[in-house]
A and B are shown apart, each in its own frame.
Chain A
Amino acid sequence: MSLFLAALRLQLRLAPRSPGTLQVWATAPLFTAVFLSIAEHAHRTDLASFSVVAPTLMGQWALTLGIAGEIIAEERNQGTLEAVIATPGRFSVVVVARILAVSLLGVTTMAEAWLVAGLGFGRWIDVPHPVVLAAALLANAAAMAGTASILSSLFVLMPSARIVQNTLTYPLYLLSGVLVPLSALPAWAGAVGRAVFLSWSADLLRAALDGPAVPRPVTRIAVVALLGLSGYLIGALLLSRVLRRVRRLGTLTHT
């Protein structure tokens, strides 16, 4: 646990100055404005929660994927990777904790989106279920980190990680019901979407902002957490295999 916190802290010190973080903070309000304009134009004020949740999740996922792709390349560039690997600490813990730090930072985009809706459109969105909202945001950040850690290890092997990273964003947004509800997608796509943690967290977050009581909040948060945990476990397994491979090939320090 202590290594986890130390790595989280390390990343929190590093992240706010990174250009990726700034870019997301700059674009999240714009996305909110776009979504809200569409909703207002269609007179669908009931979709206001979409306009806050979608930019939050999109910004957060972009940040999370960004750091997942960067961590190892950056460690290689600054020459710390070898030193980290030569310690007894678990590298997968470091990786997931550092990704989590960034996805937690990404939560701030929700505050941004909320402010844009209020200040720009006069829609001050209520938060009728703050506890569910907080728990869902936390579980979602963890699930994002766990899932993105799978990609971190793949990025060790693939120098062209950026392309993979970019092609992975929009399908996920679509399959997770971030942009449009799963029910609006073809049945097969909806079914696939259910296996993605993001669809569960998107539903939860919207439910926490919409009026009526949130059904089965604990179970649904647990599903998000479990999907995230399985992502982390796959990521950790992959990472240990990949590291063994680069030790054998002698490419650990290659940039």
Chain B
Amino acid sequence: MVSTEEYGTARRGASERPADPAAADAIVVEDVGRTFAVRRGRAAGEVTALSGVSLRVARGEVHGLLGPNGAGKTTLCRILTTTLEPTTGSARVLGLDVTRQSRAVRRSIGLVFGGDRGLYGRLSARENLWFWCAMYGLRRSALRARTELLLDRVGLLDRADARVDTFSRGMKQRLHLARGLVGDPRVLILDEPTMGMDPVAALDFRALVAELRAEGRTVLLTTHDMAEAAAVCDRVSLIDRGRLLMTEDTDAVGRLLSGYERVVAHGVSAGLARRVGALTGVVAVRHEADRLEAETERPSATARVLGVLAAAGVHQVSTARPDLAEVYLHLVGRRGMGVT
């Protein structure tokens, strides 16, 4: 098992983050585990959603939580937003314990989740925000002013009086974001905030996260989208099957993303596949029937592979970016660590 805690500390040492982690970290997760009781037929069983997760997010950091479906991302978000208690371990937000000081935690966090749900569909966007403002103790002129400001910020002013039911997914998602900002939170937990957004809206979202960072807010966001994480996060953590596999500076992940590529070609002979495998910068080759799959670690290597294939008269060729699991394997593989 990879010790994430070690990486976190080493990373912090490497950059200029303050020396005292207790004072500097907005989010501290210590050895958190969470299990759920479930019924399988008539037998009672248990599902482990998180196990031994430790994570530190510095103040002002934008941290990405990446992982496949069912990895435990939402579970961790719920624990940090006090809607779920950890079974073991503890978590603190701005020094406040999420279990024992939950009300104080709620005052300093904002929660955003993705998808169509989580809004009052029969009310207008403005009415929704009025209500959420009231939940944070805002009243009268402050409540109205905050509502207008946020509607403007997420670009919903001209649809503010339309029923939320009539909104597109992207518009709902922007309203979710506005709702998360209602309490002017120091820490934002965003669970798949770009779910359902079109590419343009997703770009707007990146700009918004940059603004939030500039305002000194801490952001923890979950996503499946490696490129999105690379674009907005300072660091990312990879989580899989309830375990935090590693925390890494985004630069490193970004380099991997732009560096690693996969070339897939058809009509490739075994001999040609061997020649491709021998090229520098080609890290792995799979050859089945006449299908070749070559992993490269540098764009120059990709170009070399394409050149060799073209020279051999192979024209059914495509390239692709590696997905999250592959990058993760590269990362872990490079360090020679075992995967559980």
Residues of A near any B CB (own CB < 8 A): 2-3, 5-7, 9-10, 13-14, 17, 78-80, 82-89, 94, 247-250, 252-253
**In contact, B118 and A88 (Cβ under 8 angstroms):** no
Set B36, B85, B103, B122: member contacting A13, Cβ < 8 A: B122
Known: A78-B119, A83-B179, A88-B136. 13 other contacts (CB 8 A): A2-B139, A7-B131, A17-B122, A83-B113, A84-B135, A85-B83, A86-B81, A86-B82, A86-B111, A88-B106, A89-B135, A94-B135, A252-B84
The reply to whether the CB of B132 lies closer than 8 angstroms to some CB of chain A is yes
Q: Is the CB of B131 within 8 A of A6?
A: yes
Q: Which 4 residue pairs across A and B have the least CB separation, nearest first? A: A79-B117, A6-B134, A89-B135, A2-B139
CA distance A94 to B115 in the complex (A): 24
Q: Please state if B137 and A82 are interface contacts (CB–CB under 8 Å).
A: no
Q: Which parts of B77-132 form the interface with A (CB within 8 Å)?
A: 78, 81-85, 103, 106-107, 109, 111, 113, 115, 117-123, 127, 130-132
22 contacts between A and B (CB under 8 A): A2-B134, A2-B137, A2-B139, A10-B120, A17-B122, A78-B117, A78-B118, A78-B120, A79-B119, A80-B117, A80-B118, A82-B81, A82-B83, A82-B111, A83-B111, A84-B135, A86-B83, A88-B103, A88-B183, A89-B134, A89-B137, A250-B36
B83 touches A80 (CB 8 A): no
B119 close to A13 (CB less than 8 A): no
Known interface pairs A82-B78, A248-B85, A249-B37; A88-B122 also in contact (CB < 8 Å)? no
What residues of chain A lie closer than 8 Å to B119, measured between beta carbons?
78-80
Are B109 and A86 neighbours in the complex by a CB distance under 8 Å?
yes
Interface status of B262 (Cβ within 8 A of chain A): no
Asked if B334 is an interface residue, CB under 8 A from chain A, the answer is no
Once bound together, how far apart are the Cα atoms of A85 and B140, in whole Å?
Answer: 22
Within 8 Å by CB of A247, from B83, B123, B137, lies: B83
B135 touching A3, Cβ below 8 Å: yes
CA distance A122 to B162 in the complex (A): 46
A89 surroundings in chain B (CB, below 8 A): 134-137
Is the CB–CB distance between A88 and B107 below 8 Å? Answer: yes
Name B177-222 residues within 8 Å CB distance of A: 179, 183
B34 within 8 A of A: yes
The answer to whether A250 and B84 have CB atoms under 8 Å apart is yes
Assess whether A87 is in contact with B122, with CB atoms less than 8 Å apart: no
A2-B139, A14-B120, A79-B118 given; A247·B132 CB < 8 A: no
Tell me the complex Cα distance, A8–B296, Å: 61
CA of A2 to CA of B133, assembled, Å: 10
Taken together as a complex, chains A and B put the C-alpha atoms of A117 and B82 apart, in Å, by 54
Interface string of B131-175 (1 = CB under 8 A from A): 111111111100100000000000000000000000000000000
Q: How far is the CA of A13 from the CA of B115 in the complex (A)?
A: 24
**A contact residues around B107 at 8 Å (CB):** 88
B123:A87 contact, CB within 8 angstroms:
no
* A222 CA / B127 CA spacing, docked (Å): 35
Q: How many chain-B residues does the 8 Å CB contact rule pick out?
A: 38
Given contacts A83-B111, A87-B183, contact A3 B81 (CB under 8 A): no
Cα distance A94–B134 in the bound complex, in angstroms:
10
Chain A: CB-nearest residue to B134: A6
Chain B residues in 8 Å Cβ range of A250 = 34, 36, 84
Q: A residues within 8 A CB of B127?
A: 10, 13
If A79-B117, A82-B83, A87-B106 touch, whether A3 touches B111 (CB-CB below 8 Å) is no
- Give chain B nearest CB distance to A45 CB in angstroms: 45
Taking a contact as CB atoms under 8 Å apart, the answer to whether B118 and A83 are in contact is yes
**A78-B113 Cα distance, complex, nearest whole Å:** 13
Provide the residues of chain B in CB contact with A17, threshold 8 Å.
122
Q: B122, A3: Cβ atoms under 8 Å?
A: no
- A73 to chain B minimum Cβ distance, whole angstroms, is 14
A80, B111: Cα distance in complex, Å: 11
Q: In chain B, what residue has the closest Cβ to A3?
A: B134
A13 partner residues in chain B, CB cutoff 8 A: 122-123, 127
In the complex, what residues of B have CB within 8 A of residue A79's CB?
113, 115, 117-119
- What separation, in Å, do the CA atoms of A79 and B121 have in the docked complex? 11
- The distance from the CB of A243 to the nearest CB of chain B, in whole angstroms, is 9
Residue of A nearest to B139 (CB): A2
Determine which of B115, B118, B136 lies in contact with A87 in the assembled complex, contact meaning CB atoms within 8 Å.
Answer: B136
* Residue from B34, B84, B135 having most chain A Cβ neighbours under 10 A: B135
**Selected contact of B106 from candidates A2, A6, A86, A94, CB within 8 Å:** A86
Most buried by A among B85, B107, B121: B85
Q: Which residues of A contact B138 (CB under 8 A)?
A: 2
**A247 touching B85, Cβ below 8 Å:** yes
User: What are the residues of chain A within 8 A of B78 when measuring CB–CB?
Assistant: 82
> Are B123 and A88 within 8 A (Cβ)?
no
Contact across chains for A10 and B139 when beta carbons are under 8 A apart? no
CB closest residue in chain A, given B132: A87
CB distance from A180 to the nearest CB of B (A): 40
The answer for the CA separation of A109 and B115 in the assembled complex, in Å, is 40
Specify which chain A residues have a CB less than 8 angstroms from the CB of B81 in the assembled complex: 82, 86
Chain A residue with the shortest CB-CB distance to B122 = A14
A9 / chain B contacts, CB cutoff of 8 Å: 130-131
CA A186 – CA B119 in complex, angstroms?
Answer: 50
Which residues does chain B contribute within 8 Å of A249, judged by CB atoms? 37
- Smallest Cβ distance from A237 to chain B, in angstroms? 16
Among the listed B37, B113, B123, B137, which residue makes an inter-chain contact with A3, where contact means beta carbons less than 8 Å apart? B137
B120 touches A80 (CB 8 A): yes
Distance from A194 Cβ to chain B, minimum over Cβ atoms (Å)? 38
